[in-house]
Amino acid sequence: MRVAWQTVAAALAPVWLHAATTSAEKSAVHVLTDAGFDAWSDAQELALVEFYAPWCVYCQALAPSYERAAAALEQYGVKLAKVDCTEEQSLCEEMDINGYPTLKVVVNGDYVAYNGTREESGIVNYMRRHQEPPLPAVPAKGLGKFKDSAEVAVVGYFGSRAPEFGVLEEVARELRDEYSFGYVDDKGLAKIQGVPVPGIAVYKDGGEADIFTGKLTTESVVKFVRATSVPVLGELSSQTFGNYIRAGIPIGLIFYNTDEMRNGLESQLAGLAREFKRSVSLAFVDARIYAKHARMLDLKLQWPAFAIQDVVRRTKYLLPSTAAVSETELRQFVGKFAEGRLQPDFKSEAIPQRNDGDVFTLVAKQFNEVVFDRTKDVLVLLYAPWCIHCNRMAPAYEELGRSLRSHRNLIVAKMDATANDIPGSDADLNVPGYPTIVLVRANDNRIVKYHGDRSVASFTDFLRQHAAHGLGVSEVSHPEAAAAQPAYTEVHSRNVGFTPKETRHIEL
């Protein structure tokens, strides 16, 4: 019986090897390394690059669809490529890769986020759509249908040779995954629409136009389109949360728990919402569904309640529970915010009475004081107590703290990111998942993200390479107290936002 099985295995082995080799030879996915990355990227009119790790189960699940999509797109001149971030760590750090897999679209060397699905058809359709003109002509007779068919429609009133066309085309190229873009070369129609020529108008649900009046730059038009894409005094929900995030404007959250309460507040605050719409997007939030979000903001669960949340700067401003949610109080509160006269509120644990352990325990109240001390390198672990990967890594991190405790210019620290907000707006302090580890260097306070495995040896090598004061320690022991293949619990909130009956972690 053993002989028979060995014979069968021997006979099949060449077949397996041949199949694997043939598959590799026929792969339509290009393998990129740091050496040729820039040259390859600059040569692509349109391409897609996956940044992955071989051990990542999501990358493994994506691989067959990605391979088929690459083969399907070859005939259209669209290339798909991949970068192994375990081999090309410096490149992936430069590309700001925080999780796997990360997909990015490249156009003539410029990289932008991929916003499509991960199925073969989704990848193919998304890339094919990006081969079409980002700013198509809209026939005069078809303008009404164009506006009505899109939740948000951006229309340029000028010809294709006008200098404004190039600006709006760049904006459309950046935002066409979010909004519909077109241009109309008809002065008579522009006059009927009440839009100057040349001009740009944003229509929401086919309604009245918001007309751009600022200095015409790509940046200013992007900001205008996003800001005007959300309704004045709308409703924040799982369906609309992404729109508010993309608008990039702080959100004034008005929590209510009865329809009668909402109706009364709407009649009071409509004028205020219009007046401050460029500074704060006022929106209602149903506390019967999203009370957890109020709790996360540290609001008292009494209704109505109000807070301003600036997702871009990761700050929040709470209307005191002793103040009434009224037109008078909110006008004063929102007005102070618009003028920059409000101080943000941060959730924080109490400062520990004793903090003499091997790993320093950080809380929000002392975060800036400790982390941005220019005399010290500070390694910060941002974790969640319930995160299994954080718990598995903990012994190695504690051992690192013990090993380096004698270094006076280095602090090995940790902070519970579920119990403490992270003060400041530096994007490098975002928490895409747990655990997140960053080094804040001495002298220049530059933030360096850690992407290695979770062993004492890897932590030490990272500090030796990046710490401003260096280490100069060859005697540090390196017990393998953590798995060599890192994993983390991903934070989904930036893409998901509100979910029914709960609010996932939103980074403040």
Which of the residues are catalytic? Answer: 56, 59, 387, 390
415 within 8 A of 355, measured Cβ to Cβ:
no
Q: Give the up-direction half-sphere exposure of residue 362: CA atoms within 13 A in the CB hemisphere.
A: 26
- What whole-number distance in Å separates Cα of residue 464 and Cα of residue 467? 6
End-to-end CA distance of the chain: 64
Number of helices and strands (H, E) in the chain?
17, 23
CB atoms within 10 A of CB 502: 12
- What whole-number distance in Å separates Cα of residue 239 and Cα of residue 228? 17
* Cα distances (angstroms) measured from residue 157 to each of 154, 163, 172, 183, 207: 10, 12, 14, 6, 17
Tokens representing residue 93 in the block: 């750090």
- What whole-number distance in Å separates Cα of residue 265 and Cα of residue 282? 11
- What whole-number distance in Å separates Cα of residue 461 and Cα of residue 457? 6
- What whole-number distance in Å separates Cα of residue 270 and Cα of residue 3? 84
Of residues 34, 29, 30, the one with CA closest to residue 93 = 34
* Cα distances (angstroms) measured from residue 397 to each of 181, 356, 390, 435: 50, 16, 10, 11
